């Protein structure tokens, strides 16, 4: 017996929003140089700041670039939108946590629904209580749609990249438990 925790990385274990936003601004400058002609450092700071507010809509990294573009366009109307190795390095550097590489699933591993199915089939996980901690409500809803994954306890981390509206919606879904950071830390001990 025992517990198996499947943890989302970005938003649950790590807050990458600052770094990913700065990277997205740099990439957007290269991609759309003309768009950035009128953008000064004050506006750039504003964009990075705003990215924290719009971050919940992002599913995959490249979408940050489109958000940067949208933010720039919203301010300059005349102009008219992680790999597993990376996760491993970050965890080790920032938190002093070493997780065996075979236990880290990155973008290349496939959708999370698929990863959860693989995890529950492993012989060493038979009989364990299954827990999935995620900060994206849409991902949890995808899990609920899969009858095969009925055995997972689902948690929405309220410290992650989700909105008040999404947290309220999650509170009305019986399958999902809202989780606070302090309770999450206790669970991991």
Residues that bind Mg ion (CB under 5 A): 8, 10-11, 135
Cβ proximity to Mg ion, 9 vs 36, nearer residue: 9
Cβ proximity to Mg ion, 121 vs 188, nearer residue: 188
Cβ proximity to Mg ion, 11 vs 39, nearer residue: 11
Cβ proximity to Mg ion, 45 vs 59, nearer residue: 59
Residue nearest to Mg ion (CB): 11
Cβ proximity to Mg ion, 35 vs 56, nearer residue: 56
What would the two tokens of residue 18 be? 């600052």
> Least distance from C-beta 160 to Mg ion, angstroms?
6
> Least distance from C-beta 58 to Mg ion, angstroms?
9
> Least distance from C-beta 12 to Mg ion, angstroms?
6
> Least distance from C-beta 177 to Mg ion, angstroms?
17
**Residue 110: which residues within 8 A CB-CB, separation 6 or more?**
none
Answer yes or no: are the C-beta atoms of 152 and 131 closer than 8 Å: yes
Quote the CA–CA distance of 20 and 56 in Å, as a whole number.
13
What would the two tokens of residue 175 be? 């399958």
Answer yes or no: are the C-beta atoms of 113 and 142 closer than 8 Å: yes
What are the counts of helices (DSSP H) followed by strands (DSSP E) for the chain?
8, 4
What would the two tokens of residue 4 be? 């198996």
Quote the CA–CA distance of 147 and 150 in Å, as a whole number.
5
């Amino acid at each position: 017996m025992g517990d198996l925790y499947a943890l989302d990385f970005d938003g649950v274990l790590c807050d990458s929003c600052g770094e990913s936003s700065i990277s997205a601004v740099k990439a957007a400058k290269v991609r759309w140089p003309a768009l950035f002609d009128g953008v000064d450092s004050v506006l750039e700071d504003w964009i990075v700041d705003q990215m924290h507010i719009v971050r919940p809509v992002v599913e995959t990294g490249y979408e940050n670039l489109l958000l940067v573009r949208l933010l720039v366009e919203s301010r300059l109307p005349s102009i008219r939108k992680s790999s597993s190795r990376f996760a491993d390095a970050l965890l080790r550097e920032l938190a002093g946590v070493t997780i065996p590489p075979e236990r880290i699933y990155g973008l290349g591993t496939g959708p999370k629904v698929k990863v959860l199915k693989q995890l529950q089939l492993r012989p060493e996980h038979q009989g364990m209580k299954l827990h999935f901690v995620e900060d994206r409500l849409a991902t949890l809803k995808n899990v609920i749609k899969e009858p095969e994954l009925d055995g997972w306890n689902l948690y929405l981390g309220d410290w992650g990249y989700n909105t008040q509206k999404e947290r309220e919606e999650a509170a009305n879904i019986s399958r999902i438990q809202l989780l606070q950071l302090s309770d999450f830390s206790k669970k991991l001990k």
